[in-house]
Amino acid sequence: MSKKIDSLLFPSFCINCKTGTPEEPPSLRWLCLNCHKLLITRWQKVSFKPEITESYYIFDYQKDKLAKKLIHSLKYDFVKEIADTFYVSLESERFNLRRLTFDFIAPVPLHKRRLKERGFNQSELIAKKIAEITEIPILDNIVKRKIYRRPQMEVKNREARIKNTQNIFECLDVEKIKGKTILLVDDVATTGATLKECARTLKSAGAHSVLSFTLAQD
Ligand SMILES: [Zn+2]
């Protein structure tokens, strides 16, 4: 279907105020210009030590309701283009992102079953933009989610969350990461159990250290 017919059949609306939005640019398709001004980033730090040396995020999942709404649509309504909306937010944190020191970017992988359901990995979309801003490459297929577990969102208790992520990752290329510092990228972190487990896998495979960046902290 051509893009033009597509937009006639499926006109787009701002997810926040429901006014009609233009087809271009993609960053304004799901959030209008006025509502974009409400999506304010704040560079913040959280501790997922000792596995992760430094951890950063730009939205508070509980306070920044609009960011939450957008992330939810990206993940659970499968609206891939919402990643373009966040590109603007990441762009506004260009200075802070470029200040970080690392060798490679690695998005937290989805299990292939979940990837098939969703059609894309949201962490990979965020990672791509960070790679563009920092001019530091993404390491593709460096870590794999080898075991399918229920989503962390459904696991409420902290201990159960840690258990739910234990040994789920596997490093696929030990040579590439030996002695390197890797920036792990994900959409949302809560207890950090997934990020920490992923970092643990990378470090036991020989990575020197791991940093993390998520859009939001819950
Ligand atoms: Zn709006």
Q: How far is the CA of 121 from the centre of ligand 1 (A)?
A: 26
CATH class of the 43-56+96-217 domain in this structure: alpha beta
| Residue ranges with strand state E in 10-122 | 44-46, 54-60, 104-107
Report phi then psi at 89, rounded to 5: -65, -45
Q: How many residues does the chain have?
A: 218
- pLDDT for the residue 1: 46
8 A C-beta contact, residue 171 and residue 142: yes
Could you read off the pLDDT of 21-41 as tens digits, one per residue?
A: 888 888 888 899 999 999 999
Q: What is the percent of the chain with per-residue pLDDT over 70, rounded to a whole number? A: 95
- pLDDT for the residue 6: 54
Q: How far is the CA of 21 from the centre of ligand 1 (A)?
A: 8
Q: How far is the CA of 130 from the centre of ligand 1 (A)?
A: 25
Could you read off the pLDDT of 134-190 as tens digits, one per residue?
A: 999 999 888 988 877 777 778 878 888 877 788 889 988 889 999 999 999 999 999
Q: How far is the CA of 58 from the centre of ligand 1 (A)?
A: 20
Would you place residue 8 in the very low, low, confident or very high pLDDT band (cuts 50, 70, 90)?
A: low
pTM: 0.90
Q: How far is the CA of 123 from the centre of ligand 1 (A)?
A: 25
